[in-house]
Amino acid sequence: MRLNFKDILVFFSVACATVGISQAQQANSLNSNATLDELINYALGNQIELKQAQIDKEIGEREIASALSGWFPQINASGSYTHNIQLPTTNINGQNITMGQKNTASMVLQADQAIINPGLFQASRASKFIREQNNLNIESTRINTVVDVSKAYYDILTSEEQINIINENIARLQRQYTEANARYETGLVDKTDYKRAQISLNNANAELKSANEFRRYKYDYLKTLLGLNPSAPISLSFENQNMESNILLDTTELMQYANRVEIKQLQTVKNLQKLNTEYQKWNYLPRLGAFANYGLNYRNNQFGDLFKDNFPNSSVGLSLSIPIFQGTKRVQEIRKSELQESRLDLEMENLENQIGAQYSAAMAGYRANMNEWRNAKENMNLSEEVYNTIKLQYDAGVKTYLELMTAETDLKTSQLNYLNALYAVLSSKLDIQKALGTVNISN
């Protein structure tokens, strides 16, 4: 069976539509137990700010098309009808003669074509930079999305681990409370120990409730970043998410200002400003255009017979406008645009200084957080060892319950400090990648 061109075209159209629908469904659906990569992919396709940036890009394309439409012929039609209540008179050789007829009507169709127009020259050259500006706005939004979603994910992971630690702490305190109460009932100790255990257990339960409330908020915040309704269900996967394995970073990488999207955005603004300066100089050029028109003219004293006779006219020609003197306006506009260029040069210098300071702050924060994390990790291991030792000594009757509670508190505090320090390292690592302009947005 042979397929003609039309059949092949229909086949490829259906295939492309099927692929497009499949990709759209993938972009608009979020799997249960979503991983970090899946969250980022979903956010890059569904976040409201990104959708707005895409719409802004489409608006920019329409603005470019609107500005460049001036190169096409501009065709207009106009019409008029006049009823002369009193006909005009004129004096010819001493005699007053009435001229004209009671009813007149005319219709004119005119086409104009621009040939030389500085405004259209400027619009044609600016379109490239406007498209670049819109694309950079999308890139900037994607970078912020990746960083914010990653931080939110790690924050939730930290909260989940904190809740696990609090639950383990509650389980230990429950056992200690049961043991202290049993010792009290057998007369081995007074009621002070199990009362203290009750207080610690109550505090731990209250801490767990607060942690659950904050976790709920963090999930809602993540939904906002993803473009989800707060009432929409979401579940995350933390399998194979060893936060410690993600903290390392090459601190010897040099800062390249050209990698920063903000530098690219400001450079595009500078290019547009230079183009505006050139446009002000182009204003010295004449405006040249071509025109053609065709008119229909009707006149008659009787309205009913108005359109019986037509007296057409038509013409073609060129129109030329040469600006000669505008009160130094063009000179002032050129100078103003040049000053704005100079101001943008200073803004670029200031932005580079700010980026340098931002990178320095991010690197200092990362190194400080790494030191804090190493210290917290060592303290956590020591606290666990101390607690296990004192627990054995308490069971043997060597240590008091107060010492056991102190060891328990130190263990829980060191574990939570370790998690907070780990999250701080991951967060500062993302800040460094953002400062370097190396955030991966190709998901």
The enclosing domain of 239 has a CATH number of: 1.20.1600.10
DSSP letter string over 247-279?
Answer: ----TTPPP-GGG-HHHHHHHHHHHHHHHHHHH
DSSP lists the bridge partners of residue 289 as 114, 319
Calculate what percentage of the chain has a pLDDT beyond 70: 92
Residue 15 placed within a domain: no
Lowest mean pLDDT among 102-106, 280-284, 343-347, 426-430: 280-284
Query: Are residues 386 and 304 part of one domain?
Result: no
**Is residue 3 scored above 50 in pLDDT?**
no
How does pLDDT run across 347-378, given as a tens digit for each residue? 999 999 999 999 999 999 999 999 999 999 99
Rounded to the nearest angstrom, the gap between the alpha carbon of residue 237 and the centroid of all alpha carbons in its chain is 26
Residue 3 placed within a domain: no
Higher per-residue confidence, 255 vs 266: 266
What's the first-to-final CA gap in the chain, in angstroms?
42
Task: Name the domain boundary from 300, 321, 342.
Answer: 321
Residue 24 placed within a domain: no
Query: Are residues 339 and 305 part of one domain?
Result: no
With beta carbons less than 8 A apart as the criterion, state whether 277 and 337 touch: yes
How does pLDDT run across 114-168, given as a tens digit for each residue? 999 998 999 999 999 999 999 999 999 999 999 999 999 999 999 999 999 999 9
Range of the domain at 87: 75-115+291-321
Query: Are residues 418 and 338 part of one domain?
Result: yes
Query: Are residues 196 and 134 part of one domain?
Result: yes
Spatial separation of the C-alpha atoms in residues 121 and 129, rounded to whole Å: 14
Query: Are residues 124 and 172 part of one domain?
Result: yes
Q: What share of the chain is helix, strand, coil (3-state, %, to 5)?
A: 65, 15, 20
pLDDT for the residue numbered 31: 75
Q: What angle do CA 176, 182, 185 make, to 5 degrees?
A: 140
Cα distances from 430 to residues 131, 285, 436, in angstroms, run 29, 52, 10
Rounded to the nearest angstrom, the gap between the alpha carbon of residue 368 and the centroid of all alpha carbons in its chain is 30
Calculate mean pLDDT across residues 399-417: 89
pLDDT for the residue numbered 240: 58
pLDDT for the residue numbered 192: 81
Query: Are residues 398 and 271 part of one domain?
Result: yes
Query: Are residues 308 and 276 part of one domain?
Result: no
Query: Are residues 385 and 333 part of one domain?
Result: yes
Task: Name the domain boundary from 299, 321, 343.
Answer: 321
Higher per-residue confidence, 222 vs 400: 222
Write the DSSP symbol of residue 207.
H
Q: Name the residue among 189, 156, 130, 125 with its Cα closest to residue 402.
A: 189
pLDDT for the residue numbered 443: 59
pLDDT for the residue numbered 20: 41
Spatial separation of the C-alpha atoms in residues 285 and 243, rounded to whole Å: 64
Q: Name the residue among 275, 233, 263 with its Cα closest to residue 352.
A: 263
Calculate mean pLDDT across residues 194-213: 90
Domain count, the chain: 2
Most confident of the following: 105-119, 227-241, 394-408: 105-119
Spatial separation of the C-alpha atoms in residues 38 and 281, rounded to whole Å: 52
pLDDT for the residue numbered 28: 53
Helices (H), 301-400: 329-395
Task: Name the domain boundary from 269, 303, 321.
Answer: 321
Query: Are residues 222 and 81 part of one domain?
Result: no
How does pLDDT run across 384-404, given as a tens digit for each residue? 999 999 989 988 888 888 888
pLDDT for the residue numbered 16: 39
Query: Are residues 426 and 405 part of one domain?
Result: yes
Q: Which amino acid is at 300?
A: N
How does pLDDT run across 12-61, given as a tens digit for each residue? 343 333 334 333 334 456 877 888 899 999 999 999 999 999 999 999 99
**Is residue 342 scored above 60 in pLDDT?**
yes
